[in-house]
Amino acid sequence: MTGTAVLTTARGLADVLAREATEAGAREVEESPHGVPGWVRIRLEDPLDLARLVYRLRVIHRGILLLAEGAIPPDGSGPARIADLAAGAGLPDWIAPGQTFAVRCRRRGEHGFRSRDVEEAAGAAVVAAVDAARGERVRARLEDPDVLVRCDVAGERAVVGLDFVGVRSLHRRGIYPERHRAALKATVAAALVRLSGWDPEREVLADPLCGGGTIVCEAALLARRVPGGSGRKGSLLFERLRAPDGHPLLDPAGVYGPADAEVRPQARPRILASDRSTSAVAQARANAAAAGVSDLVSPEPADLPSLPARVGTGSIHRIVTNPPFGIRMGNRREMESLYPTLCCAAAAALSPGGTLTFLAVHEHDVRAAAAGAGLRVLSARGVSLGGVSAKAFVLGR
């Protein structure tokens, strides 16, 4: 059974997700189809392939099996057109008798209708389609449905499909008990590690502003090849799906087994973490323990300027961090001093060819600080973080 799927991630990271998916065996990978940032389209030989990617990847937010798509008008008639797509998508074949469903819509762009309008119109279409197919009144359940129908809209393009993840995106790993008040999404943290070019077999990675430790925990899990969905077993919706012939879509063991067999608990990458806040260090240690990587991640209380003296000049290959004031607790005056401090500490601690990768919102200040410390801006890309427009910088020594 061939088909098409859309993988989603944060806007600005589609190429990172595309590379990760390709490495995991995805075929005919297309970044930002129809110009939609954060989307990756792939070709499937079997829905099982999508389930495996959903479980394995670390940068993915959602995996959606496409059932219908088409152009829609941006005016108020959009929901009716999407309802027509949903009505003809064959959804009764995927909702087994007695199962519940929900419809979710995410819109990107300007439209003359609300996401809720789409959800109500498409939901009514699903109910009518199931009733027409087998005379059953299918029940909606918004919080924990058995089947989650996506009706997502980007500009004048709409897709209807089955969400293989669930109501909660995969950036919620299901393993981190402590949430720092400026915590970075785990998926974005994983993307930053990949953008840094870190080779866990040969290189040292450090986060001197580790906060709750998301970046270093994700680095450790990536090095050990732990599947991104490992903390969500039992709650991923592909486990509840039924194929059109009524049988279970897949055996979860067929998804989890191959990926779990590749985990390398013996991997010993060198990862350093520190933060000036003792409470943040305590949170990071708790998160590392919950993630099962406390043997690799042992954060220590220390301030940023002391980094070169603590680790040794020129001893770090990759510094990956999320400055604590630049994303959600922004104070421009503090940023003016933090960026130069970060860049100067990195310039002293990095080995030749090493990189500093981090998120920031004040591009001019970052570029000035980099130049002052003798670092080159290798790349800068926009990344959307829950309504905050930031940039991911990679600076080189």
Q: What is the CATH number of domain 3-170+231-259?
A: 3.30.2130.30
- The pLDDT mean for the chain works out to 93
pLDDT at 377 over 70: yes
- The residue among 55 and 74 whose pLDDT is bigger is 55
Determine the pLDDT at residue 327: 43
Amino acid residing at 24: A
- CA separation for the pair 187, 218 (Å, rounded): 8
Residue 225 amino acid letter: R
Higher local confidence (pLDDT), 347 or 246: 347
pLDDT band at 35 (very low <50, low <70, confident <90, very high): confident
pLDDT tens figures, 50-61:
999 999 999 999
pLDDT band, residue 183 (cuts 50/70/90): confident
Tokens 């905050």 correspond to what residue?
Answer: 388
pTM of the predicted model over 0.75: yes
Radius of gyration over every alpha carbon of the chain, rounded to an integer in angstroms: 22
Lowest mean pLDDT among 145-154, 186-195, 378-387: 378-387
What is the edge-to-edge ordering of all strands in the sheet holding 350-360? 300-301, 270-275, 204-207, 316-321, 350-360, 388-396, 376-385
**CATH annotation of 186-226+263-396:** 3.40.50.150
Q: What is the mean pLDDT of residues 163-179?
A: 90
Q: 187 and 14 in contact (C-beta within 8 Å)?
A: no
Instruction: Among 108-117, 212-221, 348-357, name the one with the lowest average pLDDT.
Output: 108-117
Domain extent listing, the chain: 3-170+231-259, 186-226+263-396
Please, which contacts does 74-78 make with residues 24 or more away whose CB atoms are closer than 8 Å?
A: 74/109, 74/110, 74/111, 74/112, 74/155, 74/156, 75/111, 75/112, 75/113, 76/112, 76/113, 78/111, 78/112, 78/113, 78/117, 78/118, 78/153, 78/158
**CA distances for 266 relative to 48, 111, 198, 356, angstroms:** 29, 52, 18, 27
Comparing C-alpha atoms, which of 388, 318, 327 is closest to residue 356? 318
What single-letter DSSP state applies at residue 249?
S
The pLDDT score that the predictor gives to residue 241 is 86
Rounded to an integer, the average pLDDT of 185-204 is 97
β-bridge pairing 62-71 and 157-163: antiparallel
Interstrand relation of 388-396 and 350-360 (parallel, antiparallel or unpaired): antiparallel
pLDDT tens, position by position, 98-156 = 899 999 999 988 999 999 999 999 999 999 999 999 999 999 999 999 999 999 999 89
